[in-house]
Amino acid sequence: MSRFIQGLITFILGAVVIAALWFSTPEHESFPELTFNLVDGKPITSQDLKGRPVMLSFWSVTCSTCIADIPALNQLHEILDRRGGKLIGVNLPSDPPPTAISMAKKYEIAYPNALDVHGEINKALGGISVTPTHLFINREGKIVQRHTGAVNLNDIGLIISTL
């Protein structure tokens, strides 16, 4: 099969996946007012993110898939940053803060990472219990997609391009 046909098939499959993901959320819920307390001690609020595309990546220190996804998430962070967007990692409330902080350093997480010690972020966004879970917020402040599972750069890249 020629490269052109392979590329065309990949593009069509990607478009089908994006359409299915996009239409799987019947109503786009609004992104609530939140404060993300980052491991570096700085906060980011929902207000700071207004008008920007945002990807939230919920992860856990005990999730091997989450850890394996870090290099891909670092790449997505660069892509979003160039588009004026933001990727924020969010640890589950069950993660001990010292462990989350040391793992963020050990695995060289390049994007901001928030601790959700009391579970406020988790509760406000519907109770994330499976990791990795990624939420995509468009420039209008609507949560347009939820994705659970390993990061696929092509699929996630297509979602980001629609934000």
pLDDT, the chain, mean: 86
| pLDDT at residue 6 greater than cutoff 60 | yes
Q: How far apart, in whole angstroms, are the C-alpha atoms of residue 90 and residue 127?
A: 13
pLDDT at 8 over 80: no
Q: What is the pLDDT of residues 135-146, one digit of tens each?
A: 999 999 999 989
The pLDDT of residue 21 is: 52
Query: What are 80-122's pLDDT values in tens digits?
Result: 999 899 999 999 999 999 999 999 999 999 999 999 999 999 9
Contact between residue 107 and residue 61 where contact means Cβ atoms under 8 Å apart: no
The H or E element that residue 60 is part of is none
- Specify the CATH architecture of the domain 3-161: 3-Layer(aba) Sandwich (3.40)
Query: What pTM did the predictor assign?
Result: 0.80
